[in-house]
């Protein structure tokens, strides 16, 4: 790939093209998409110019690559089979406090987790990823190798949470450690910005509203503003956290973020579910929804991890209609962005009892131009001349895509990653015929499985009740000899 290498996708059956006059995606049929170097030069019509590569677009959908604004690739893939139906009955069914901190990959496991997650993301059409991780040695190297466009979001905090009984969450504070970790995180952001690939950038991310001091959160937001980068914090993500903040401050999580000056444009709230109006929270004399709506802050919506525990936003359609900027992320395994989009659509209908609460275009927009805007970019998430050549091609002849009437509906509601064949980022092919170029997925998965066995041994040592993993999370059926 050189500056001038020109690739033509010829006669694509379907193209999701960006119309810059109406500021909307629209479908084209049987037309061409052309990119040169890392940029798109033509979308639609016929291309008669010189080219280096020609791709047959017949039988293909050409779509802008998906923009993911929230994920934790370093750990989440390991939870498959363990956390699928596990919550804490004493902690409003969240698994954040009793289980997740105890079931963690070691250093080798982290690499395996990340390789698997990045592969799944690419295979489901993600071209831009926000990776929220506690920094580790080969982080930048893995992201660079994958070919993905990455927003490194190094997490840090002033306290860790734990429980000694499964029904009370406690916090162990070390404010200086939080400060030191913030300083280290800023160095990682500097490294990302200076990376020669040009595909890496940074985001400022104090981890959670209940584990960071007000000063750390405020200074982090100021740092993000002065650097011109986005800011994200987990907030309104559990009933426990809602009550922890009301107990400490007499204010809801949204009110408290507003009080300390960070609920405003430039802030991303992951996940923004437990507003005072949520039916699991009895707190009638507040108006978090209006506060959030008028603030300009955005929400990172990741429904899959919550729906497993019977928890959902009420409802994402309502947020979007109110004009709250909503982007999509994958907070858990599988790192399947298309399934995450499907879950967002279905959850919204279940919560509202209304199939018109949210339309497919609302979520496709959130996963493309919407997420891009939240990240401060107008050159990704769209197929338009001048935009980055970040796109994927799906096989519309795949049985899961047929009968083919509306390719995005077939893709999101049924086929998902099964139909994704080729992915390009900066004009460089990172997935070919359904295979990720950078990683050996079979090998990474085998290493992930070994890491999961090692983590199971550790779980018993760390658990307050010393439970065996089979006791904490029994298998679907007993294994008989």
Name the residues that contact Zn ion, by CB under 5 A: 331
Q: What are phi and psi of 434, to 5 degrees?
A: 75, 10
Smallest distance, Å, CB 169 to Zn ion? 17
CB of 70 to Zn ion, least distance (A): 6
CB nearer to Zn ion: pick between 63 and 207: 207
Order of strands across the sheet that contains 53-56? 39-43, 31-36, 6-12, 53-56
Dist CA 257 CA 406 (whole Å) = 42
The tokens for 357 are 């609460």
Q: How far is the CB of 76 from Zn ion (least distance, A)?
A: 9
321 secondary structure, DSSP code: H
Asked whether the beta carbons of 141 and 196 are under 8 A apart, the reply is: no
Which of 120, 331 has the CB closer to Zn ion? Answer: 331
Which one-letter DSSP state was computed for residue 91?
G
Q: Do the beta carbons of residue 275 and residue 288 sit within 8 Å?
A: yes
**Cα 30 to Cα 42, 61, 387, 403, 456, distances in angstroms:** 14, 10, 21, 18, 52
Q: Give me the residue whose beta carbon is nearest to Zn ion.
A: 331
Give the span between the Cα atoms of 132 and 207, in whole angstroms.
Answer: 9
Tokens of 412: 């999101």
Q: How far is the CB of 472 from Zn ion (least distance, A)?
A: 22
Closest approach, Cβ 14 to Zn ion, in A, equals: 33
| Torsion angles phi and psi, residue 399, rounded to 5 | -55, -35
Residue 331 Cβ vs Zn ion, minimum distance, rounded to whole Å: 4
In the complex, minimum distance from the CB of residue 241 to Zn ion, in angstroms, rounded to a whole number: 12
Q: Are the beta carbons of 66 and 126 closer than 8 angstroms? A: yes
Q: How far apart are CA 81 and CA 476, in angstroms?
A: 9
Minimum CB distance to Zn ion, residue 116 (Å) = 17
Q: Which residue number, 9 or 155, has a Cβ lying nearer to Zn ion?
A: 155
Minimum distance of Zn ion from residue 295's CB (angstroms): 20
Helix orientation angle between 107-123 and 139-146, rounded to the nearest 10 degrees? 20
What's the CA gap between 374 and 232, in Å, rounded?
11
Give least dist CB 236 to Zn ion, A.
12
Nearer to Zn ion, 13 or 331 (CB): 331
Of 38 and 331, the one with the shorter C-beta distance to Zn ion is 331
Alpha carbon distances (Å) from 389 to 24, 222, 424:
18, 32, 7
The residue (of 131 and 365) whose beta carbon lies closer to Zn ion is 131
Closer residue to Zn ion, CB minimum distance, 331 or 422: 331
Q: Which is nearer to Zn ion, 32 or 71 (CB)?
A: 71
DSSP symbols for 50-79:
--SEEEE-TTEEEEEPEEE--B-TTTGGGG
Closer to Zn ion at the Cβ: 331 or 340? 331
Sign of the four-CA dihedral 470, 476, 477, 479: negative
**Do the beta carbons of residue 470 and residue 86 sit within 8 Å?**
no
Nearer to Zn ion, 76 or 362 (CB): 76
């Amino acid at each position: 790939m050189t500056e001038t290498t020109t690739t033509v996708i010829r006669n694509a059956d379907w193209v999701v093209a960006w119309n810059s006059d109406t500021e909307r995606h629209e479908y084209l049929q049987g037309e061409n998409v052309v990119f040169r170097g890392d940029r798109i030069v033509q979308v639609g019509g016929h291309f008669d110019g010189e080219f280096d590569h020609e791709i047959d677009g017949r039988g293909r959908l050409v779509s802008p690559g998906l923009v993911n604004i929230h994920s934790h690739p370093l750990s989440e893939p390991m939870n498959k089979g363990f956390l699928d139906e596990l919550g804490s009955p004493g902690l409003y069914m969240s698994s954040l406090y009793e289980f997740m901190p105890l079931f963690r990959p070691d250093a080798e496991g982290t690499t395996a987790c990340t390789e698997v997650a990045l592969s799944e993301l690419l295979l489901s059409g993600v071209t831009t990823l926000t990776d929220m991780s506690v920094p580790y040695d080969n982080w930048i190297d893995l992201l660079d190798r994958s070919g993905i466009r990455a927003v490194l979001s190094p997490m840090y905090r002033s306290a860790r949470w734990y429980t000694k009984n499964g029904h009370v969450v406690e916090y162990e504070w070390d404010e200086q450690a939080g400060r030191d970790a913030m300083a280290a995180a800023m160095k990682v952001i500097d490294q990302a910005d200076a990376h020669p690939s040009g595909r890496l950038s940074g985001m400022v991310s104090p981890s959670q509203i209940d584990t960071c001091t007000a000063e750390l959160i405020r200074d982090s937001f100021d740092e993000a503003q002065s650097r011109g980068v986005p800011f994200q914090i987990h907030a309104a993500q559990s009933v426990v956290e809602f009550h922890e903040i009301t107990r400490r401050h007499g204010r809801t999580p949204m009110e408290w973020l507003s009080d300390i000056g960070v609920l405003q444009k430039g802030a991303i709230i992951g996940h923004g579910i437990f507003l005072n109006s949520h039916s699991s929270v009895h707190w009638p004399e507040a108006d978090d929804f209006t506060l959030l709506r008028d603030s300009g802050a955005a929400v990172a919506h990741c429904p899959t991890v919550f729906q497993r525990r019977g928890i959902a936003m009420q409802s994402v359609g309502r947020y979007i209609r109110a004009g709250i900027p909503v982007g999509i992320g994958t907070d858990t395994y599988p790192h399947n962005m298309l399934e995450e989009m499907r879950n967002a659509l279905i959850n919204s209908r279940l919560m509202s009892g209304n199939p018109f609460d949210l339309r497919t275009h609302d979520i496709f927009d959130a996963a493309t131009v919407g997420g891009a805007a939240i990240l401060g970019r107008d050159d990704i998430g769209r197929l338009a001349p001048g935009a980055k050549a970040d796109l994927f091609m799906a096989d519309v002849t795949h049985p899961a895509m047929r009968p083919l009437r509306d390719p995005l509906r077939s893709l999101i509601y049924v086929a998902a990653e099964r139909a994704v064949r080729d992915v390009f980022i900066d004009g460089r092919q990172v997935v070919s015929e359904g295979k990720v170029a950078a990683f050996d997925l079979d090998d990474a998965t085998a290493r992930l499985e070994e890491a999961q066995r090692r983590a199971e041994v550790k779980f018993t040592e760390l658990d307050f009740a010393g439970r065996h993993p089979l006791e904490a999370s029994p298998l679907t059926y007993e294994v008989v000899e």
